[in-house]
Structure 1
């Protein structure tokens, strides 16, 4: 899986995306410490056990570097940044029954804006990308040549067993 580069100075206007979700009762906000257990359980269920480590790392940062999407107090999506490495976005996921509504794009934009406005980055890296067309369309991301296997080369998974 390759990495992608985003020019944070050229992000699209996010207001229409946020307003559309707000009209549907979906709120994008920064996660708070009391959200940690619910968020980590959600990440485990919707993404992977490995991503839980990244979410936990995001909760260790001040401010928390993780945004969530909620609908009537129900968690429906998340996005991390500055979790695996400085200037990296991800992981992110939206519940299957809420995909296609713009939630993923809103979480991505909010994270990119935080990386630009709060951390001062001019470019951001999306690590180990799956849906390349989504990132190209949403934020003008471009694949970084020769970036596979990325930072995740020698990546351990829960399926690996320790040698005796």
Structure 2
């Protein structure tokens, strides 16, 4: 997987925001008292590595981790400025809730937040669904010979 770059001044962001507004979830930053609940949820459904990044994002002021809430339950999350300034991710949607636009809504809200904070671009490190990011926001691949910032990272193995 490669790193991607997204301009936060492209017209595609307005289109993305319009599409995201049709998704029936509440998106907001994680509150401090929710930190452990959200981190445990990410660890359970995704990985310990992502839970570590979520911890960093939540402890920023303001919180750099947004959550999607549907029917009073956590449905997904998206972080920024966790691994490094200007980076989007990690992000994930509960497996039972995927394919309904929640990830799109989280992506849009996070990019809008990053833009409001003064970022001109967002980096997506070691991007998973490259086609999604290209189509949704016009992301472009950053040519590299290695795994970028994640090169050589220790990984916790799931059992």
The TM-score, its normalising length taken from structure 1, stands at 0.89
Structure 1 stretches of at least 4 aligned residues deviating more than 2 Å after TM superposition: 12-19
Contact kept in structure 1, 2:8 and 2:122, CA below 8 Å: yes
Contact kept in structure 1, 2:89 and 2:124, CA below 8 Å: yes
User: Which structure 2 residue ranges, 5 or more long, are not aligned?
Assistant: none
Q: Distance in 1 between matches of 2:140 and 2:3?
A: 8
Name the SS for the 1:9 alignment partner: coil
- The reply to whether residue 114 of structure 1 matches residue 139 of structure 2 is no
Q: Distance in 2 between matches of 1:112 and 1:15?
A: 9
Correspondence for 1:128:
126
Q: Distance in 2 between matches of 1:28 and 1:36?
A: 16
Distance 1:147 1:74, change over 3 A: farther
User: Which structure 1 residue ranges, 5 or more long, are not aligned?
Assistant: 160-164
Name the SS for the 1:21 alignment partner: coil
Correspondence for 1:3:
3
Contact kept in structure 2, 1:94 and 1:103, CA below 8 Å: yes
Correspondence for 1:12:
14
Alpha-carbon distance, 1:43 to partner = 0.7
The TM-score, its normalising length taken from structure 2, stands at 0.92
> Mapping of 1:74-85 within 5 angstroms?
74-85=73-84
Correspondence for 1:157:
155
Q: How many residues align?
A: 155
Alpha-carbon distance, 1:14 to partner = 4.4
Give CA-to-partner distance per residue, 1:54-108, whole Å, 9 cap, x none. Answer: 0000111000001101111100100010000010011000011111111111111
Larger deviation, residues 9-18 vs 100-109: 9-18
Give CA-to-partner distance per residue, 1:98-124, whole Å, 9 cap, x none. Answer: 111111111111111111112x11111
Q: Distance in 2 between matches of 1:29 and 1:151?
A: 27
Higher radius of gyration, 1 or 2: 1
